[in-house]
């Protein structure tokens, strides 16, 4: 799957056939996105830089209680909210919508920075 961001030309998201992880290549950086135990629960989410084996972000909380968030290595907390409607749903980050599903299809959403882009790629996976 090819993704585009504001800073670079394009990024490529390669998903493993077992759906256990995905590799995101953007310019010269490679990130690995994965859920633990192949469940779509945000508290089991991890984003790892493949060159340094450093965990860039990890998921915490839950959508049900309204505490879902990504905690990045620099200490930034990136809160996300799940907003459901009858035609789909929307993941909302601190800077606006990150991921939008309307009528069973993914709608394009612009990102502002790298944290937005990584979170958006995670939800595309």
Across the beta sheet with 96-102, the strand order is: 81-85, 88-93, 96-102, 105-107
The model's pLDDT over 90-115, given as tens digits with 9 standing for 90+, comes to: 888 888 888 788 877 777 777 778 88
What value does the mean pLDDT of the chain take? 80
Report pLDDT for 102.
Answer: 81
Kind of pairing between the strands at 2-3 and 11-15 = antiparallel
Report pLDDT for 117.
Answer: 81
pTM of the model: 0.73
The model's pLDDT over 6-15, given as tens digits with 9 standing for 90+, comes to: 555 678 888 8
Report pLDDT for 56.
Answer: 92
């Amino acid at each position: 799957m090819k993704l585009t961001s504001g800073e670079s030309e394009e990024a490529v998201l390669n998903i493993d056939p077992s759906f256990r992880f995905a590799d995101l290549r953007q310019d010269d950086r490679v990130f690995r996105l994965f859920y633990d135990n192949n469940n779509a629960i945000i508290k089991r989410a991890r984003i790892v830089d493949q060159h340094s084996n450093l965990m860039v972000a990890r998921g915490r909380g839950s959508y049900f209680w309204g505490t879902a968030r990504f905690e990045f290595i620099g200490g930034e907390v990136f809160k996300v909210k799940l907003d459901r409607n009858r035609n789909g749903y929307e993941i909302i980050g601190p800077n606006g919508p990150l991921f939008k599903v309307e009528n069973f299809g993914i709608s394009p959403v612009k990102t502002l920075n790298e944290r937005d882009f990584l979170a958006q790629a995670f939800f595309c996976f």
